Structure 1
Amino acid sequence: MFPTLIRRLAQPAKEPVVKRAPLTVGSNPYQARKVWPPNFKDLNHQQQLRFEKKYKRRIFLASRSPRWEKGIKFAQLATIAAALVWLLFYSEFEWWGKKYKPSEEMRRHAANLFGVLDPDKRYERRKDAPETSPPTKGPESESK
């Protein structure tokens, strides 16, 4: 193990890729298997159609972005939900010939997350909640 490590440390560093000649069409060591784009004049109609279908499909698949589409759907849902909340709780409009105005109680509940954060009712207990007994002093509550 150590001789290999010493031998590798003694070797000169490789040249970075940037210092070597940049890859161009002439200096590229990787040759393409097919000439691209193909000469469509040499292909018959069926082969041309096959090429068009194949590369249209590849371009479509390469341009897809599932995360972007999911984000757009979420943004649409949030926008629609916010518009409905605003429409029902804050706007005043005419609906089939009748004036619609949300009540002040409804607006207050919406402002306090439907009564959850209402300062007036913060310390009220629910009617169906069990009664609480005062804490008993036991060995757990003694301070040392």
Structure 2
Amino acid sequence: MLKASLRRLAEAGPKLTIHNNPYRAQKQWPPDFSKLHPKHQFRFERKYRRRSKLKWARPRWVKGVKLAAWGSSLSVLVYGVLFLDWDNMDGSDVKPFAEVRGWLRNQLSSIWTTSPSTQAPHRVSSPEEPSRDSTQTA
């Protein structure tokens, strides 16, 4: 068995080129567009466009560029609304985003605390009333 496989490796035929290839192409490529009907020309163009789009498509790159564009736009918007000093832009004393900044400041300052209106009222149990935590056996 080893001899047979070595013999097959040694008897490798000549490399196939365009001139000695036994499997000829059925159609000439690229076709001569001057001899084609306009309908067939359009079909070839459409096929070529589709194949070139598939070949040159870079979905990860496009997604990364979109995310970078959205991120930079959002960061500029947040900076403009929350941090940019609008006082001396046009000489007026109007602060266009003062309400938004105040609301956000209140929200951020109350993250770790609760306001008195949202706190649950503390119940003091009276001595006559049994507490709910105690377990009674009857």
Which TM-score applies when normalising by structure 2? 0.49
Q: TM-score under structure 1 normalisation?
A: 0.48
Higher relative contact order (CA 8 A, sep 6+): 2
